[in-house]
Amino acid sequence: MSEESKTCQECDRPISNELQRFVFQHQLFTFVFLANEYECAECKRKRCMKFFDNFGKHFIDLDEHKNVIVNWLLCLEREQMTKTAELLAALKVLSLCSEGNWLILDNRGQSMNPSTSFQHLYFTRREDALEYARLKFSDTGHSWEIVHIDKTISREDVVQKE
């Protein structure tokens, strides 16, 4: 990828280099998306909201305290987990951040969490990890476990300290 101005693969408009993340409201939900270098914020917003309206809203809801609730049974029946994971990360049900969050691991230490095409994700809530694992992996032939990641140390913190 060259340093000069990047353009959106969808609409050809230039993509701002400054924009790191963007937030918007849609049907009482608050979405927080990270910017990327191949899709402008507007195209990403439109694409994700179309997916939410046609698909995600059938199993994503809000409770009376405006907490996001996911019907994992309906979610898994409908598949399309890669795109769904992107929505759930924007709603903070899943996160790029590992610290303080939950991870389903197989017996070789590989993540069994949902992921987008290019991002590993973690459950932010214990009950979602439990429900997802129970529904999806009850019948697997190998063992697995759910771990809570208590503390992480960043590469910067490890390398820079003398």
Binding stretches for Zn ion (CB under 5 A):
8, 10-11, 40, 43
Compute the least distance from the CB of residue 51 to Zn ion, in Å.
16
First to last CA, the chain: 34
Of 13 and 78, which has the nearer Cβ to Zn ion?
A: 13
State the nearest-atom distance from the C-beta of 37 to Zn ion, in Å. 12
Task: Quote the least distance from Cβ 16 to Zn ion, whole Å.
Answer: 11
Q: Which is nearer to Zn ion, 11 or 73 (CB)?
A: 11
Contact criterion met (CB below 8 Å) for 116 and 82: yes
- The nearer residue to Zn ion, 26 or 125, going by C-beta atoms, is 26
Q: State the minimum distance, in angstroms, from the CB of residue 43 to Zn ion.
A: 3
- Please report how many Cα atoms fall inside a 13 Å half-sphere around the Cα of residue 140, on the Cβ side: 14
Contact of 52 with 60, CB cutoff 8 Å = yes
- Tell me whether residue 8 or residue 76 sits nearer to Zn ion (CB atom): 8
